[in-house]
Chain A
């Protein structure tokens, strides 16, 4: 792809920027009690901030995402950012109208401070010396970025999956700054089943012979473990029905089975491909830290077992969207959030979109989801002015 055939509804060429803060001795205090500093966050912005700063939207990504949510980083890029279906001129997050900020997370590996960064105290990569970070810590770091950009109030904070968790946390941690929340395929806590899958993924990394206690930055990397972790993840992002329809029991090349252990079923090939693709762009240690942050996230536990208490002081309006075939973040978990909000008399829209595409639906070009977001934002924006 070159710059000449970038589609008209794309934000076009974008640059990932970074912001560094929490320089010692004013480090970021983490939920665990430890401190971290300096902290760098990578981010991208699309569209223009209006004069009264009332059109800013913060977009937050899921486990394996990055700040690159829309457009292309270079004319050679084959694929646009992870939420390009949703962000751009005339799209759900209309960049002609809104100023969109997409932020990475602390603990990540795409430009932000994480286990692959150099620990200023030792001069070496943090590795497993990197402190455990939580969703709350990610949000607290993003607060610095948002304030750095001169924004006092966000029209919306949005994201899917872990991005939705961050958005919910934003409304709780900084109620006065968040006018509305759009959380897709999200939850107030991951299920035991979800934690189980994350743990198997982490074990795959730990048990890779090249893992070396997390100190692998100067030798061979635990690629096998990380790609296996990604394969496990991918199973949970899709639905049974989708796998059946897309791959079925079809074999890759031949009509008849080869009677050996080569990867011959289409679904095997797909998973292997996903695993291999992933190791080129993600750090195994970051995968450990971020899955752990997801596992620890529990709004109920933060408020003595009451989700109703967790949302008591929020003042945001909410759009909560779930997808029928999502078994990793099932609709019941979204409904639980919505009910806690209803008990508190908050303004909330909930819709369950029928989809066969599983958890990953929120990343796909789904017209109903886009229309709902577009309409919700329009009325929130009218309210803000």
Chain B
């Protein structure tokens, strides 16, 4: 099997932190797993049991090439069949902002995973703020490369939005390690992350989240 170049997956947003976060032998579900590279790395480096959900036929095909188990489907329209706590980690890496029903997706994520890893581009980043303030048009940059009329990012959010969301829904935040990408490498941002970090990174602690509710799609 083809070995991935260390830099190749290291340069993919969120991968480095997720790989560091997940203990060996974990059972992992990646929602929106794309070509399955993250799962493949987790399988090889962490001996993880890996599963994915991916909307595109081509993505699933690439997962199969890597020997991964992947479901072709829309995470907005059904995760209800997974049993509660059936994964050690459920990953939403740069996916949440593309979902139609983020509230539902997070509810299911917390139900089926003992832990959740959620990472997303931070719309509160200073670059975005300045662009909107000075340009007066929807900001476009490396994080949000699309025009407003073609963007899949339909639920934009900031790090603070997500913190407040977790408090409101009672999702215990186990860890935050927000970051920016510099020359293809993640760099942690500790001070004023909602202003300075390009990406939010949260580990939600499902073990401490006891009052599970039914998720309404």
Indicate whether A and B interact: yes
Residue contact B57 to A353, C-beta cutoff 8 Å:
yes
Known A350-B73, A352-B72, A379-B67: A368·B81 in contact at CB below 8 Å: no
**A349 partner, pick from B70, B78, B82, B83, beta carbons under 8 A:** B70
With a cutoff of 8 Å between Cβ atoms, the chain B residues found around residue A343 in the complex are 81-83
Complex interface residues of chain B between 67 and 96 (CB less than 8 A to chain A) = 67-73, 78, 81-83, 86
Residue contact B64 to A376, C-beta cutoff 8 Å:
yes
Residue contact B86 to A345, C-beta cutoff 8 Å:
yes
Complex interface residues of chain A between 328 and 385 (CB less than 8 A to chain B) = 335, 338-340, 342-343, 345, 347-354, 368, 371-372, 375-376, 378-379, 382
Residue contact A351 to B82, C-beta cutoff 8 Å:
no
Q: Is A298 an interface residue (CB 8 A)?
A: no
Known A342-B81, A375-B64: A349·B71 in contact at CB below 8 Å: yes
**A368 partner, pick from B57, B78, B82, beta carbons under 8 A:** B57
Q: Is B65 an interface residue (CB 8 A)?
A: yes
Q: How far is the CB of A365 from chain B (nearest CB, A)?
A: 17
Residue of A nearest to B87 (CB): A345
With a cutoff of 8 Å between Cβ atoms, the chain A residues found around residue B70 in the complex are 349-351
Q: Is B39 an interface residue (CB 8 A)?
A: no
**B69 partner, pick from A340, A349, A372, A382, beta carbons under 8 A:** A349
CA–CA, A317 to B51, complex, Å?
13
**B63 partner, pick from A340, A349, A368, A382, beta carbons under 8 A:** A349
Q: What does the 1/0 interface line of B122-150 toward A look like (CB < 8 Å)?
A: 00000000000000000000000000000
Residue of A nearest to B71 (CB): A350
Complex interface residues of chain A between 45 and 89 (CB less than 8 A to chain B) = none
Q: Is B204 an interface residue (CB 8 A)?
A: no
The B interface is mostly helix, strand or loop, or mixed, namely: mixed
Contact count A vs B, C-beta below 8 Å: 57
Residue contact B78 to A339, C-beta cutoff 8 Å:
yes
With a cutoff of 8 Å between Cβ atoms, the chain B residues found around residue A353 in the complex are 57
CA–CA, A348 to B73, complex, Å?
13
With a cutoff of 8 Å between Cβ atoms, the chain A residues found around residue B61 in the complex are 351, 368, 371-372, 375
With a cutoff of 8 Å between Cβ atoms, the chain B residues found around residue A352 in the complex are 57, 72
Residue of A nearest to B83 (CB): A343
With a cutoff of 8 Å between Cβ atoms, the chain A residues found around residue B81 in the complex are 339-340, 342-343
Interface size on A, residues (CB 8 A): 25
With a cutoff of 8 Å between Cβ atoms, the chain B residues found around residue A372 in the complex are 60-61, 64
Q: How far is the CB of A182 from chain B (nearest CB, A)?
A: 11
Residue of A nearest to B67 (CB): A379
Interface size on B, residues (CB 8 A): 18
Residue contact A349 to B64, C-beta cutoff 8 Å:
yes
Residue of B nearest to A383 (CB): B67
With a cutoff of 8 Å between Cβ atoms, the chain A residues found around residue B69 in the complex are 317, 347-349
With a cutoff of 8 Å between Cβ atoms, the chain B residues found around residue A368 in the complex are 57, 61
CA–CA, A87 to B72, complex, Å?
25
Q: For B60, B63, B68, B86, which residue has the most chain A Cβ atoms within 10 angstroms?
A: B60
Q: How far is the CB of B55 from chain A (nearest CB, A)?
A: 10
Residue of A nearest to B1 (CB): A382
Residue of B nearest to A373 (CB): B64
CA–CA, A345 to B63, complex, Å?
18
Q: How far is the CB of B114 from chain A (nearest CB, A)?
A: 14
Q: How far is the CB of A14 from chain B (nearest CB, A)?
A: 29
Residue contact B71 to A342, C-beta cutoff 8 Å:
yes
Known A343-B81, A343-B82, A351-B57: A382·B67 in contact at CB below 8 Å: yes
Residue contact B67 to A345, C-beta cutoff 8 Å:
no
Q: How far is the CB of A171 from chain B (nearest CB, A)?
A: 15
CA–CA, A350 to B55, complex, Å?
11
With a cutoff of 8 Å between Cβ atoms, the chain B residues found around residue A379 in the complex are 64, 67
With a cutoff of 8 Å between Cβ atoms, the chain A residues found around residue B82 in the complex are 342-343
Known A342-B81, A342-B82, A345-B83: A351·B65 in contact at CB below 8 Å: no
Residue contact B57 to A354, C-beta cutoff 8 Å:
yes
CA–CA, A376 to B81, complex, Å?
23
CA–CA, A351 to B72, complex, Å?
5
**B73 partner, pick from A317, A335, A376, A382, beta carbons under 8 A:** A335
Q: How far is the CB of A335 from chain B (nearest CB, A)?
A: 7
Q: How far is the CB of A22 from chain B (nearest CB, A)?
A: 38
Q: How far is the CB of B60 from chain A (nearest CB, A)?
A: 4
Residue contact A375 to B67, C-beta cutoff 8 Å:
yes
Q: How far is the CB of A309 from chain B (nearest CB, A)?
A: 14
With a cutoff of 8 Å between Cβ atoms, the chain B residues found around residue A382 in the complex are 67
7 A-B pairs with least C-beta separation: A379-B67, A339-B81, A375-B64, A351-B60, A351-B72, A343-B81, A347-B69
- 13 A-B pairs with CB atoms under 8 Å apart are A342-B71, A345-B86, A349-B69, A349-B70, A349-B71, A350-B73, A351-B61, A351-B64, A353-B57, A354-B57, A371-B65, A375-B61, A379-B64
A-B contacts besides A349-B60, A375-B64, 20 pairs, CB < 8 Å: A335-B73, A339-B81, A340-B81, A342-B71, A342-B81, A343-B81, A343-B82, A345-B83, A345-B86, A349-B69, A350-B60, A350-B72, A351-B57, A351-B60, A351-B64, A351-B72, A352-B72, A354-B57, A371-B64, A376-B64
